Structures are given as C-alpha cells and as structure tokens.
Structure 1
Amino acid sequence: MPQKTKHTPMMEQYLNIKAQYPDAFLFYRLGDFYEMFNEDAVKASQVLEVTLTSRNKNAEDPIPMCGVPYHAAQGYIDTLIEKGYKVAICEQVEDPKTTKGMVKREVVQVVTPGTAMDLKSQDGKSNNYLTALFIDETNHYHLAYVDLSTGELKVTQIDTKEELISELISLKTKETVFMEGESIEEQAELNTKLGILISTQKTVESAEPLIHLLGSVESKNKRFVLNLLLSYLSETQKRSLDHLQTAEEYTPSHYLKMDHYSKQNLELTSSIRDGQKKGTLLWLLDETKTAMGGRLLKQWINRPLVHKEKIEARQRIVENLLNHFFERSDLNEVLTKVYDLERLAGRIAFGNVNGRDLIQLKTSLNQIPLLNNLIQGMNENEEWTSLLKQLDPVAEVSDLIETAIHDEPPIAIKDGGIIKDGYNAKLDEYRDAMKNSKQWIASMEAEERVKTGIKTLKIGYNKVFGYYIEITRANLVLLPEGRYERKQTLSNAERFITPELKEKEAIILEAEDKSTALEYELFAEIRETVKNSIERLQNLAKAVATVDVLQSFATVSEKYHYVRPLMEKGSQEIELIDGRHPVVEKVLGQQIYVPNDVEMDKDTQIMLITGPNMSGKSTYMRQLALTVIMAQIGCFVPANKAKLPVFDKIFTRIGAADDLISGQSTFMVEMMEANQALTYATKDSLILFDEIGRGTATYDGMALAEAIIEYIHQHVHAKTLFSTHYHELTALEQELEQLKNCHVGAIEEEGELVFLHKMLPGPSDKSYGIQVAKLAGLPEELLEKAATILKKLEQQKPVVQEMAESVAENTPKIQSTALKTKKAPVESTAEQQISLFSLEDPQEKEVIQLLKNINLLTLTPLEAINELNRLQQKLQNKES
C-alpha cells in the first residue's frame, strides 16, 4: 500500500522558496532542467503544452511535476510573460562539487510583463512600460513609469481618472505597481477594464544606490511613487540598474491633450479595425531607420507640442533636410547601420550583453563621426548646433572594442574565442602553449605513421577520454608489441595512449581551461569599462533618435509634397488650401485624392457639415485633426498652403462604436465624449463631432445636437466641425453668427448617385439615404417601398413642422445641463412665453395647458398630427 509522502529536503527547499513568490511560476533549477511542481506544474503544462508527470508516483499524494530544458527556457518564459504571468527564476548559487548536502538555491530574477527585456514578439520600435500608481488623500493620481530595456524613467501628476485611463492606454502598460493593501478599487478596475496585471509592493525604501535617480523631483508624492517603482524593480530584478536614467517630470498640459477616445478615433498609432499599425498616422510617418527613432516617433505622435517655438525649431530642421537631398540620402544610409543604442546600454548594465552586442555597439559608434560630418555640411541653424553637441562618438569605447573583441565572436561568452590576439599577454601565452602543443601532436602523428608503417593511424580527441591514438583492427598486426597502452576498444578500432601524449594533453587542457577562464574575466572587465559610459551612450541615443525622426518627416514631406505650416499662437484662423487626408492619400496610391479647403476666420467658430453617407464628411474632419497633429509634432502637412493656430486640446466623436473598456453603449459613449469636450475644451481647442445624436430617437437626437451646437457657440468658443444628417439644423446659420453651413457635393446622374468628395458652401439639399442604400445593393423592391414611404412622410412634414414650431414658441428649449456641462445657458420658462397671450376663456386655457404638456420628442409624426387634430376639435366645438 502506498505510503504518504514525506517531503524530501529538496521539496522542502522548493516549497520554502515558492512561498516567497506565490504570484509567479517558480522555475526551480535541477541539473539541465527548470522544474515546476504542484499547482505551477498543472497550470504551466496547460499554458506551455508540456507533459505533466508526477514525483513519487507510488505515494498516496504524488506531486504534479513538469519541466523545461535549461538551454531552451527563454522561449517558455516569453510565452508565460506574453500571457500575463510572472516567472521567478531559481538557480543554484553554490558549486555542487564543493557542497555537502543540499545545494543552496535562490531566486535570481523575477521576470514580469512590465520588466521583460527581450520578448521575441516585441517590436523593436515599441516600448515596454512598467507603471506605478499612488493616489493621495485629495484623489490626485501620481504616476511613474519606466522602460527597463531603455532606462527611460518619468513621473507626473494626473488630476482625473479619465486622464489617468487615457495615459495608461497611451503607454500600453501591461503591469502597474501599487502599495500592498491600498487603492483596492482602482486595482480591480484597471485589471478588469484594461487587462493590466496588478502587482503590489510591501515596502517602499529609498534605496541609496538609486536615490540619485529622483534627481530634481521635489514633490513628496512624486518621490514616493518613484521609490515605489524603484523598490519593485530592485526586489524583482536583483541586479544592477545603472542604466536607469534620472527621473524626468512631465506635465500633460505641456502637450496637446487628446483622450484615448480621440486617439482611437483618429487612428494615430493603431487602427480601429484590427489594432495594427497599418493604416495609421504612425504607419504613414514612420520612415525611421533605427529602433530608437521609431520609439521616439510614437512618443511624439502621442504627445504633440503646444509651444510654438519648439514646433518651429523642429520645422526648421525638417526644412533644412528637405533642402539638402544628397546629404539626407547619405544620412539615411548611415542611420541604417546604427543599432539600438538604448537597449544595448540596458543589456550592458544588466550584465547580459555578449560579444556580438559589443560589435553592434562598435559599429554604431563608428557611424557617429560620419553623422557629424553630414550635419555640419547642412548646419544652417542653432537647432543643428545643439544636436551636434549631443552626437558624442564615445571614441574610447569603440576603440576598446576594436582592440579587444573579435569581429565575429561566438554568442556564448564562457567558451572562449571572444578576445583578440595581442590584447592580453597572459592570454597570448596560453594560446601559444595550446598552438605549439597541437603542432607537436600533429608532428607526433606523422612520426608514428612512419615508425609503425600504418598510414591510417590518427591522433584524436574527445572530452571523455582526452587525446588518443586510433588504429583500425586490420592494422593492429603492424603495431609493435608494448609500444602503446590500450585505452578503449571500438567495434572496428582500438585506441591507445603514450606517456608523452598524456603529458602534452595535460599542458593543452590546462592552457585551454586557463585561457577560457581568462577570456571570460577579460570580457567582464571590458563590459564594466563600457558600463561607465552608459549615460553618454543614452544621451547619444536620444540625439540619434531625434535626427532619425526629423529625417523621417523630411522623407515623408518630400514624397507626398507636404508644405510647412505657418503656426500662430492664439490665432483664431484656420487656412488649409487643397488639404488632403494623409493616410487615405497613401492608401489610394496612384488614385487621385480630391483635395478640400478648410477656411475658418476669426468670425467663424463652427462649420456645420451636411451631405450623404459615404460622401467624405468623416474623412474631411479627420483630415483636419491629423493635419493639426502633424503640424504640432513638427512635420510638414498635406496641403498647398497651411496656416494654423496652435491648439491645446483635440476632442473627437467620429464613428459609432461601443466602449468595451467601460461597458457603455454607443449612445452613452457619444454623450460621454460630448461631455468631455463641453466640459474641458477652451477657445484654443479643436472639436470634431460626427453625427451627434444619431444613437437615440430622431427628435431627441436633433434636440441634443442643436443644444450642443448652441452651447459650443455661446460658451466654449472652440473651433468646431459638426457633421449631421439633421438638415433642420442648417437653419441655425440664421441664428448663430459664428456658424457657417457647408456640405459635401453629390449629384444624381440617370438615377445613380455620384459623390463629388468636394466641400461646398451652404447646406446640402437632401440626404440621399435611399440612393446610398442602392449603392449598398439593397433589393430593388425594398428601395421602391422606401421611396414611397419617404414621399408620404415629406407630404406630412409641413403639418408636423407647423405644429412643432407652434409648440416651440411656448415650451422651454432643451438645456445642455442634461449633459452635465460646466455652464448652463440662461433658462427660458414656458410660463414666461405663455404670458404673452391673452387667454381669458377657461377652455382655451385648458387647450394651451394640454399643448404645453405634450412631449413632442416621444411622438411619431402620425401621433403628433392626431394630437393636434384632437386639440383643434376642442377649440372648434367651443366656437360652435
């Protein structure tokens, strides 16, 4: 009968270590495998699709067990990390040969989604941010984040939850650290709604080796959240973090503000359809040649500038690059040879750099003098001068690598073959000993062939038996008796040794062991020397990335014939002549994109856009927003002429989509986005509203749309493009002096609808809904029925309109306070309006009261007519 298992010393050790890392898979090193036990084994076998076995199979409670090979572990670790898990790597920290009893083991690193350095699936042009969050007693959010692979470290304060969500989505963080036991509600919300892994830290200490990273940050709360982040890193990584850069404070208001809805609607870095890069503004603008340039471009797109001087500084360099075609071509060629300096610096600090990484570093540094020369040839402004100062070639590092490291070193750093001859005298001695001894062995082989007459005699080597003399069985008769000492018998040969051969073997193997050990020691010294230049390498990386992004702007601007926009801070004028949607234009390729003007002087605040579906209203609106973003990151823009104000915020509502993050319906999302704009927009903001109100009943939607337009006009004063199918709203041009109508042209030719894709002044004459349905291929019978119904409704329209206008004169206007905005228009009551009438007859007063109580927004046209008829009958009966 199986006996109940008593834990062995090894399992006791495993369980004790596992108890310290309950939220991670423990990779426990046993020989050539990392083993997992119990629940880890069961779950890992499913996730990694490896065989689940058990330890002590005959025991009453066998222990589930699975393992992965040590040499292939990285792939399995990557899989777990990409699926949102943590992995604690537990290694032997004692030499088994010199240890009695259990070998001591410790966790040497915890790999998490936010700290992974080299995920195979990770795009080199993407960051991997780990964030930390602290919420103070006034409900302000203090956010710090780090990219462990590049050393980037930043901190900020965020005032609202909406802004926090937008920032986390923009950073695409996979993991956020909280103090243990704090902000439980926020932890759950980020985990369930954004899918962010939540990690907690028990203690926060101002670690002395990292205290310098706080730099000039003075805020107590910002310093706390930085220490929270750094404490978590120290506890999980358990190694040098020398590559982390001094914390940089940033303020969201120093950049063009866009919430995550707007970034999603405008498809800045990922498409709405599949979340991929293709079809986005990033896809269009990314002509960068380096990984760090690609990461910086994405950061610039997510955070356009709001300072005119900084925008123009970038524009001047782009213009300079455009004016020097040949120098720019050479510069691009040089940049293609620059590797990822930021991440190389991170690998050096982490201690996992190899010889090939150092060769990449040398190759990159060798390009810097060439970059300097090219830029000096174009240097026409102070911005280039500033960049030149940062393009430090770190010559001593490249010279050291050139002197010490083989041009084609092996990947492994402990097997030798990395260090060049002539770098170290002792190493050269060992190599000479090995070389001379091997020459002696080759000479011995030739001599023994002559002495024995055995032409096939050979001297070989393997790790088990060392050096040996091998003679085939057929030639054993030629071997003099007692000449060799038998070592090993094979199926068709015998192997022998001699005292002289054993002596040389000892010399060779000793030299090889010492040579390999010395090479590793020398490589570690070189790595430490390079490590001293990490800060300089990181500064260089930033400068190269900046040059790379600006040349990318120049390349794109030349390719698509963009122009430099004139930026005017505080201006209330937009003048885009022959503007184009940059991404659609690229997608169309050889097809001609129909350009459109956007002209809004200081007296035009709102453009009300009408026109049929599919005609290009949404494209026209996105076109303006993308042009603004391109201008404010320093790029040229798709137009023949461009004059733009510097906007502080962009708000959009374009397209109908549910918000899966917060579980809201399309209409609720629409109202939330509208409310964001109405609450936070300023006169320097840009608002794009596409079909506001379509998610509810017709009259509800129309009433809300009109109220929103009036509110923007009277209180917000932001530049606004508002597209609608409610043609009734075009009458607002007569009431609102800063509103202008425009429409997308469309004509009917022989019953077919033709889109002109051209923006024209004035309102559209009709919506062409049935014609669009025809283009979509709906059945002819259905279309004919729709046309008949439309004709009936249009005949009823004047009656309903007359009633609506009559009621409108005596009922309050729908107020924007329903949207919970910051200010409400002055209220106009029904009683004030009715007091204008002289109503002495009780029956007439009753009819007016009934009329006042009617909720037109809930009635169909036919119900409204019937209600009007009933009230009219009351008055006619009274007269008779």
Structure 2
Amino acid sequence: MEATGPPAKMAERREELTPMLSQYFALTEEYDDALVLFQVGDFYELFCDAAEAAARICEITLTKREDSTGTYPMAGVPIDNAAPYVETLLDAGYRVAIADQVQDPEEASGLVDRAVTRVVTPGTVVEDELLGAGNTYVAGLIRGSGDGDTVGEAGAGERWAVAFVDVSTGEFRVTSGDVPTIQDELDRFAPAELVTAPGCDHGFDVEGMYTPFREAAFESAAARERLGGYVPAPDAVVETDAELRAAGGLLAYAEYTQGVDSGGLEYISRIARYDPREGMGLDATALRSLEVFENREGDDDHTLLGVLDETSCALGRRELTHWLRRPLLDRERIERRLDAVEELARRSLVREEARDLLKDVYDVERLVTRVSRGRANARDLRALKSTLDVVPELRETLADCESRPLRRRREALDELADVRGLVGRAITDDPPIEVTEGGVIREGFDDQLDDLRATEREGREWVADLEARERERTGIDSLKVGYNEVHGYYIEVTNPNLDRVPDDYTRRQTLKNSERFYTPDLKAREDEILGAAERADTREYQLFTEVRDDVAREAERVQAVAAVLAELDVLCTLAGVAVERDYVRPELGSGGVHVKAGRHPVVETTEETFVPNDADLRERPFAVITGPNMSGKSTYMRQVALIQVLAQVGSFVPADRARLPLVDRVFTRVGASDDIAGGASTFMREMTELTEILHNATEDSLVLLDEVGRGTSTADGRSIAWAVSEFLHDEVGATTLFATHYHELTRIAEGRPGIQNLHFTIAREGTDVTFLHTVVEGASEASYGVEVARLAGVPTSVIERSRHLLESGLPGEAGAHPDPAADRSNGHRDDADGARTATAAGSDSEPTPTAGDSGKPTDLEVALRELNIANMTPVEALTWLHERQRGLE
C-alpha cells in the first residue's frame, strides 16, 4: 500500500502547518497503515499523497487547497454517501480510518476535536452497504508455544491456533491443530483478513488481506484479560495457550477496528471452541471440485447451495452455508436433523406456515449488533420487534409437532415478551431515520415528554389561531402569520396597510413589499414553543438511547432466538426441496455406499432429462470407471460425493434409495489447473493434490480421482495411476471412484476382490455415437475420442485424418501407413486404447496358434463351449467377450 502520511517537505515544516493539517497528519502517523478519511463539515477529506491515491482509485476530483502552508492536493467524498468509496478503497487493498468530528462545532472555541472512531478493513466491516448476505470473517492466527501446543518435532507436527470472528453478527470460534488442519479451516472459513503478531512467518495460503497487529495483544496474560471481558472463565473456553492467545489477540484487533475499549463488543458473547474432527473434512479443493458454493464460472448459480437455498431469511441462508461447509460426523445428530426434515416434508401445512412466518424475519444477528454498538436507529428497533412478533405465532405453528428436534427448537424459542413490549410501548410505528429530531417515542410512554409536547402543541395551536384574531383586531384582511428558522415567528403586513399596524407590533424584518413584526405575546409563545420542542427532542433522544441500551442488555437472548430461527429455516428449506425434487431419506449404517437410481442434485436441474445411476460400493469399494469423454464419468463421481455430503448435512438425497456410511473426509483430484505464478505446472499441481490424498485419506474417506497421471507421458501416467490405485486399495482401504482413460488400469481388478470395473454405455451406428449416460459393470470397449471431437465441431478433414491414423498408426510407427490414400486394411486392429495388435493377415509375426496347429482346442474354444448363452444378459455377454478380447493382447 502506498504511503499516506505527509510528504517529506511538509513533514520537515510541521511547525508551520495549520492547526487542521497538523491534526490530520498526527492521525495519519498514528494510523500509518490506513487512509484517513478526515471529517470537514459534511465531507470526508484527504490531503497530499493520500488525496492523489484516493482520487485515482475512486475516480473523484482532485482539487487543491491553499493556506499559509502552501498549495497541496485535496480530495473528498460526501459523508452521507461514503460507503461506495470506502468499498472501492478496500477492494484496492487499503484500510480506511474514519476520523469524525467528536465535538459540536458550536461548542468549540477553536479547532474542532477529531478522532478515529473506527478502522474499516475487509474483515471487520459492519455497514450494511459493505456486507453481503453471507458471513465476513477476520481470523486471528498464532503458533503454539507451550505445553499441549506442540506435537513431536517442529514442522509437519507443529501446532497452531486460529480464531474466527464475524464482527457484524458476533459469531466467534476458536480451534487448534497441525498445519494441514489449520489450512483446511482457513480454506473452509475463507477469512477476508488474517491477523497475526508482527513477524509471524505463518506460510498459510489465504486470499484475504494480511494484517500484522501489535505483539502485546497476543501475549498470554493480555489475551486472558481480554477474553475475560467477554466470558466469565476464559480458560474453560479454550484448551491450549495458543487458542487463548489467538482468541484474545483477535478480540483486541476487533475492538481496535470498532473504536471501543476492552470488552466493548458485548454482543460477541458466543465464543465457542470447536474440534475440526467433529465434522466431515471438505477442503478448498473438494468444495471447488464439487461446486458446493461456487461453480467454474465463479458465481453461485448452478451450485449445491444454489439448488438448496430456498431459505426465507438471511439467518437461514448463513446457517445453510454453515451446514454445507461442515457436514456432521455424529450419527445421532444427523438422525435428529433427518427426523425434523422428514416430519416437515410430511406435514406440508406446518412447513409452509412456518416458511411464510420466517419470511418476516429480519437479519436479527446484525440488528442486535447495531443495537449493542449504539448504532441502531428507531427503525432497527421496530424491525427487531417485528421479528420477535413472529416467535409466538411460530411456536403455535409447531405446537403439535411430534419429532424431538422440532419440539426442542420450539421450546427454545424465547418469546422475549419484555423486549417486544418495551419496543412496542416506546417506539412509534413508523419512526423517522434520524433519532435526534423527534417523532421517535410514542405518546404515553413518558410523562415529561408528553408535557413538553403538549406545551409545544398548545403553543402552535395558539399561533395557528393568531392570524384570524389579528385580522379581526386590525382590520387587515391580507395579514399573515408565518415562521422561518432564521427569524422565528412573525406577523407580515403589506406596505399599503402599514398605517393600520397596532402600537404593540415590533418590526422584525423589512421586505420589498411588506414588513414583518412580532408582539410580546407572540415572542413569549415562540420562546415557549421552541424551548419545548428543543427540550422534547432532547428528551426523546435520551429515552430512545435508554430503550436501545435496555434491548442491548438482552442481546444474548436475542441471539439465541436468532440461532433457532436460522435452524428452523434450514430444516423447512431442506424439507421443501426434498418434496419438490423427489429426494428420499438416506439410511445411515456400515457396509459401504449403496445408492439406487442416484441423481446429481445440480445437473438434474439444468438438463431436460437426467439418467439416474446406481452406485454399489459395499463389497467392492474401489471402482475403476471407464468410458468416453462426455459420457458422464465426472458427473457420476460427483453425484455420489454430493449425495454423501447431503446425507451428513442431515438432508434427504436425490435417489430412489440410499444407504450410506459416515465419511470422515471427501478428497477430490478432479480437473486440470496450473499455478504459473507459483511455478507449478498442471502435472505438479495434480501430484501435490494427490500427495495430500495419499497422506491423509483413511478407510473412512471417500476419494474421487479423475484422469490421474494424464499430465505426463503415457508410460509414466499409467504407472502412477496403477501404483496410486494399489496404495488406496491395499494400504488405505478408502472408498474410491477412479475415472480414467487408461484402459490397462481395468486389469488391476484381477486378483483384487475389492475392485470393480464400471463403464458408461454408448450406442453406435456407423460413425455416429450416442452417449446413453448409463453406468454398468465391466470396462469400456473404447474411448471414442475421435467421435467426441466430431461432436465438438472439429473440421471434417481433421476427423477423417484422425480416424485414418487411429486405424493405420502414427507416422514412424512400425507398420504404419502415413499416406491417407494408403490401404487402410493393413492387417491391424485397434483395441480399446487405440493400441494396435498384429493379426495373421499382413503381419510379419507368426500367427496365433489355433486348434488346427496343435491338434488341441484352445482355451478360447473351451470357454466358448462351456458358455451358457441362454442364461446371459446382453451386458454379461459383452463383458465376457471384452475379457476374452483382452486375453488375446
């Protein structure tokens, strides 16, 4: 980030700066890692280098200011529309310090006092205009250093602690683990900002902004004291000293950015320690490959979240994201969720009534944050009441629910009658946005305010009647009574009638065609009215802040209700999706994956027709999958994984039937990508991801491999694919789906009862190929790459030449005929991999012996005689022939 302090030539002349510039540059030195937006009246101003940077980035006008110091650049943005400019600066990699006037200019004897009231960073935004619907996290990271913080030698066994907070909602979590575990958590939460102690060489891969923060905040004693301002027993929340330091240091940073003192973010009361091992492992690679939150185009359309997200409120959407980010491993918890989804799916009336009520729920988590920080206006309090008014109706809707999880959630719904009653009695139904100009507090709530309003109202009524009385008294029919903010109340008389003005009129203002007057009684009423109005506005604001503070004291209760509303929204959503898309309840048990007529939850919504497929991995948990490109191999593998993820989330699944085990992690090595900036080729990236799988997969993991080994030579690739398969089957025992074009790999099933071959069928007529997208047992007969190229629109001449080369061999190969016009009946045939096998005709090698050569029947002839054709299905016959064909190679 560019320097934002004073230019060197001005810094050398600090004693010559004007008081305002001196104040500005003092703040830029204190917040030297941020651009300071300095309030001057109705604008936030920047000066010198900071002004030039902001003008260029935000595309605002760069002006000049001239004073005794000289002439220097200046740029500014209006305070009431600062949010989009702040967002632009954040996107450009800047932090922004907001320096507000903290003193009433009318009370200042000289320079108005200014102070940085908060620092806006990518991970600590709280403004609605800068927040999306999902969570925005800032993470605090620290290396373990004490007992229980390290395991074994430093390096791979080194332990770290990380804490995550969403300042806009108050969510706070902390955990610890080794390097791979912490990297997984950083990938899972994707913090917009990572905070560590200065000089901490963490080496973790995080896309968000990196922020070093004062080292003292991460020291044990300071962290314990800081955490103690939020929870009664800090050591009961965390398990290690590193967790204590990560949580305490992050809280200190959150306070720093929000401009509050220690313990000043009271709404952050749900500080929870969690164990990453309690949930299914879905790292960034798996989330990306399975397109859980983001598809290949980089948006959330046509993703698992996009299919499921029929939530009614923002609370539900964030909770659904949490559930998808961390599916459960506890079978009892999963079954409880499934019980609730099943009842809501069955009872459509209850489900739809609940969803309709939840549509009236505001984003309570963020509302209570604003309330607790003293930034909520009267409309925020009314929105909070509107949400809480839903609770009694929701409890009534769920009154006769049978499943235990729904009954428990109903009981947990605190109606908060005291909070609802307070806001209802205090705040008007349609209050103004501004809370300092009256119209906020309901009549009858406060006697003192009612008396002031009565005085003001009576005075205005007296003034309203004054015009008629004075016209009758003076006989001036054109006489008018009015008011303006400069001169107050007045009686206006036109020039032709000035000779009829009574003696008790005192001139207040002279206009071109008239004069304005006041009388002693009017002046007294004016003082009474304006005095009462001012005191009423002051009293209203005082009452409003008292009500807001009273509500803030119940923040934890409100947050608890918000958590239940979020869960109910997700359960209703999952039930609705299950009904609309014909999902079924999965059975959880041991014995491996068994899915009947499974479907890909996303692809089926984008295709007019979708072919369901079975997946039976119970006895043979390793499947080698072959078939042409575009036949459905990748879709099939992903659908198995997504069905597993949905089941452990607690959702019904797209299938006719599904019996599934509990999977500890889903690993994926799917698709090609490289990291040019990092110096990693596609193949190197593939091997790195493969290394992660081979080191960390267990017998309870689900592994998806797609075309492993294709980034290098054929011989190397086949060898790697074979060795990887052996290792996963023989050593790890993980449930594995391996899609490949290495047809030789299908032979690995020989002698390994735990491996099966699957392939996708096609229908072929001449050179036309139709993909049937149906998976069956056995290996594919060919890859049909040339046909796929034809379907993709490759020029006909290229297709024909490809077919010729496929049949005759590449130039330079033994027996190849490079001339397209050469005889293509060259005595060679192509096996499934395009490799050529010599036959008797046109070959220099000896022909394969037959029964006539030795006088004995060949093995093939014996097998043919023993074949029971009458009891074979077509698929079994094809599989038998394919196996015999491979035996001739």
The TM-score with structure 2 as length reference comes to 0.85
SS at match of 1:165: helix
User: Could you tell me which residue of structure 1 aligns to residue 463 of structure 2?
Assistant: 441
Out of 280, 283, 289, the residue aligned to residue 265 of structure 1 is 289
Counterparts of 1:777 and 1:80, CA distance in 2: 46
User: Could you tell me which residue of structure 2 aligns to residue 46 of structure 1?
Assistant: 56
Q: 1:254 to 1:661 in 2, by over 3 A?
A: farther
Matching of residues 145-184 of structure 1 within 5 Å = 145-160=164-179, 162-183=180-201
What is the CA distance between 1:800 and its match in structure 2?
8.0
User: Could you tell me which residue of structure 2 aligns to residue 497 of structure 1?
Assistant: 518
Counterparts of 1:758 and 1:564, CA distance in 2: 24
SS at match of 2:230: helix
Give a deviation string over 1:570-598, Cα, whole Å, max 9, x none: x232211110001111122xx22111100
SS at match of 1:142: strand
The residue type paired with residue 214 of structure 2 is Q
**Does 1:778 find its partner at 2:794?**
yes
Bigger drift between 81-90 and 221-230 goes to 81-90
Out of 136, 143, 160, the residue aligned to residue 135 of structure 1 is 143
Counterparts of 2:584 and 2:743, CA distance in 1: 36
User: Could you tell me which residue of structure 2 aligns to residue 593 of structure 1?
Assistant: 610
What is the CA distance between 1:663 and its match in structure 2?
5.1
Matching of residues 239-258 of structure 1 within 5 Å = 239=260, 240-258=264-282
Q: 1:497 to 1:562 in 2, by over 3 A?
A: same
**Does 1:394 find its partner at 2:394?**
no
Counterparts of 1:123 and 1:211, CA distance in 2: 29
Counterparts of 1:659 and 1:362, CA distance in 2: 51
**Does 1:232 find its partner at 2:253?**
yes
Q: 1:630 to 1:534 in 2, by over 3 A?
A: same
Instruction: Give unpaired runs (5+ residues) of structure 1.
Output: 804-880
Matching of residues 86-485 of structure 1 within 5 Å = 86-124=95-133, 126-137=134-145, 138=154, 139-160=158-179, 162-183=180-201, 186=203, 190=205, 194-204=207-217, 205=222, 206-207=225-226, 209-210=229-230, 212=232, 214=234, 215-239=236-260, 240-273=264-297, 275-378=298-401, 380-472=402-494, 476=497, 479-480=500-501, 482=503, 484-485=505-506
Bigger drift between 133-142 and 555-564 goes to 133-142
User: Could you tell me which residue of structure 2 aligns to residue 844 of structure 1?
Assistant: none
SS at match of 2:582: coil
Give a deviation string over 1:209-239, Cα, whole Å, max 9, x none: 3353835324111111111011112222223
Out of 785, 798, 804, the residue aligned to residue 788 of structure 1 is 804
Bigger drift between 785-794 and 756-765 goes to 785-794
SS at match of 1:767: coil
Q: Is the 8 A contact 1:163 1:259 kept in 2?
A: no
Give a deviation string over 1:417-438, Cα, whole Å, max 9, x none: 1000000001001100111001
The residue type paired with residue 416 of structure 2 is V
Q: Is the 8 A contact 1:84 1:197 kept in 2?
A: no
User: Could you tell me which residue of structure 1 aligns to residue 759 of structure 2?
Assistant: 743
What is the CA distance between 1:482 and its match in structure 2?
4.5
Counterparts of 1:173 and 1:663, CA distance in 2: 25
Q: Is the 8 A contact 1:194 1:661 kept in 2?
A: no
Q: 1:664 to 1:57 in 2, by over 3 A?
A: farther
What is the CA distance between 1:729 and its match in structure 2?
1.6
Matching of residues 395-794 of structure 1 within 5 Å = 395-472=417-494, 476=497, 479-480=500-501, 482=503, 484-568=505-589, 571-588=590-607, 591-601=608-618, 603-659=619-675, 662=678, 664-793=680-809
SS at match of 1:564: coil
Q: 1:680 to 1:67 in 2, by over 3 A?
A: same
Q: Is the 8 A contact 1:81 1:116 kept in 2?
A: no
What is the CA distance between 1:99 and its match in structure 2?
3.9
What is the CA distance between 1:454 and its match in structure 2?
3.9
Give a deviation string over 1:235-266, Cα, whole Å, max 9, x none: 22223301002321111111101221111000
The residue type paired with residue 142 of structure 1 is A
Counterparts of 1:363 and 1:394, CA distance in 2: 12
SS at match of 2:213: strand
SS at match of 1:783: helix
Q: Is the 8 A contact 2:592 2:621 kept in 1?
A: no
Q: Is the 8 A contact 2:139 2:191 kept in 1?
A: yes
Counterparts of 1:99 and 1:393, CA distance in 2: 47
What is the CA distance between 1:483 and its match in structure 2?
5.8
SS at match of 1:409: coil
SS at match of 2:200: coil
The residue type paired with residue 691 of structure 1 is E
The TM-score with structure 1 as length reference comes to 0.86
Give a deviation string over 1:81-108, Cα, whole Å, max 9, x none: 3443222122333344444343332222
Runs (4+) of structure 1 exceeding 6 A deviation are: 2-5, 796-803
Considering only aligned residues, what root-mean-square deviation do their CA atoms show, in Å?
2.3
Bigger drift between 641-650 and 98-107 goes to 98-107
What is the CA distance between 1:621 and its match in structure 2?
0.5
What is the CA distance between 1:366 and its match in structure 2?
0.8
User: Could you tell me which residue of structure 1 aligns to residue 872 of structure 2?
Assistant: none
**Does 1:26 find its partner at 2:36?**
yes
What is the CA distance between 1:143 and its match in structure 2?
0.3
Give a deviation string over 1:353-411, Cα, whole Å, max 9, x none: 01101111111111101111111222x13222321232101110000011110000001
Q: 1:32 to 1:122 in 2, by over 3 A?
A: closer
Counterparts of 1:582 and 1:800, CA distance in 2: 38
Bigger drift between 110-119 and 625-634 goes to 110-119
Q: Is the 8 A contact 2:140 2:195 kept in 1?
A: yes
What is the CA distance between 1:636 and its match in structure 2?
0.2
Q: Is the 8 A contact 2:504 2:520 kept in 1?
A: no
Give a deviation string over 1:476-506, Cα, whole Å, max 9, x none: 4574365633322344543322222111110
Counterparts of 1:661 and 1:337, CA distance in 2: 48
Q: 1:758 to 1:478 in 2, by over 3 A?
A: farther
Out of 47, 61, 81, the residue aligned to residue 72 of structure 1 is 81
User: Could you tell me which residue of structure 2 aligns to residue 810 of structure 1?
Assistant: none
The residue type paired with residue 615 of structure 1 is S
User: Could you tell me which residue of structure 1 aligns to residue 46 of structure 2?
Assistant: 36
Counterparts of 2:629 and 2:835, CA distance in 1: 26
Instruction: Give unpaired runs (5+ residues) of structure 2.
Output: 1-9, 146-153, 810-815, 817-827, 839-889
Bigger drift between 769-778 and 12-21 goes to 12-21
Q: Is the 8 A contact 1:212 1:246 kept in 2?
A: no
Counterparts of 2:79 and 2:523, CA distance in 1: 34
Q: Is the 8 A contact 1:94 1:104 kept in 2?
A: yes
Q: Is the 8 A contact 1:315 1:635 kept in 2?
A: yes
Q: Is the 8 A contact 2:194 2:208 kept in 1?
A: no
Q: Is the 8 A contact 2:142 2:160 kept in 1?
A: yes
Q: Is the 8 A contact 1:454 1:478 kept in 2?
A: no
SS at match of 1:233: helix
The residue type paired with residue 198 of structure 1 is T
User: Could you tell me which residue of structure 2 aligns to residue 876 of structure 1?
Assistant: none
Identity of aligned residues (%): 39
